[in-house]
Amino acid sequence: MDVMLGTSSELIAQAHAIRQQVFVIEQSIPKQLDLDGFDERAVHVVVTDGGALVATARLVKRNRRCGVMARIAVLKQYRGSGIAKLVINALLSHAGKIGLEIIEIHAHAYLQGYYESYGFKYIKDVEIVGEHQLIEMQCSLKSEVR
């Protein structure tokens, strides 16, 4: 598995291809909700396997202390093999290197326990996207080691 991190238009296009498959096709989330205008100012991580696209996520810096991790997507055939952990750890590591202290996510409610294993804490229920209830969670990068 290769893990690439960056802001290039090629990486963004690869992230879009993965998100199209996972969010738009599989989860029936309208494409216009996925394409929210933040991609050009985000740092993206893309995982490939022998050149094949596997997974993606992005990190948008909200201010000097806080960033938002979002659009975490793993293609169906790769789920359950630890790929999401590669993606999340790559973004959390990058966030720490650029001095962010707090990372926020809006995750599917059923994934609350999963994100708690990384140190995220439940904050509140937020919007429903498509048919999916999202929750806000936050992680302090100054907290215990993951």
pTM, to two decimals: 0.89
Domains and CATH numbers, the chain: 2-101 (3.40.630.30)
Mean pLDDT of 73-85: 95
144 pLDDT above the threshold of 60 = no
| pLDDT(83) > 60 | yes
Cβ neighbours around 37 below 10 Å, total = 6
| pLDDT, tens digit, 9 for 90 and up, residues 108-126 | 999 999 999 999 999 999 9
Q: Which of 18, 78, 8, 84 is nearest to 43 (CA)?
A: 8
pLDDT at 4: 96
Segment 10-63, tens digit of pLDDT: 999 999 999 999 999 998 888 888 888 999 999 999 999 999 999 999 999 999
> Tens digit of pLDDT for each residue in 94-112?
999 999 999 999 999 999 9
Give the per-residue pLDDT at 145: 44
pLDDT of 132 higher than 90: no
**C-alpha distances in Å from residue 32, one per residue of 29, 37, 96, 106, 107:** 9, 10, 31, 17, 18
Tell me the three state secondary structure of residue 143: coil
pLDDT of residue 96: 94
Neighbours of 87 (CB within 10 A): 24
CA distances from 104 to 45, 79, 95, 101 (A): 17, 23, 11, 10
What mean pLDDT do residues 72-93 have?
A: 95
Q: What is the pLDDT of residue 55?
A: 98
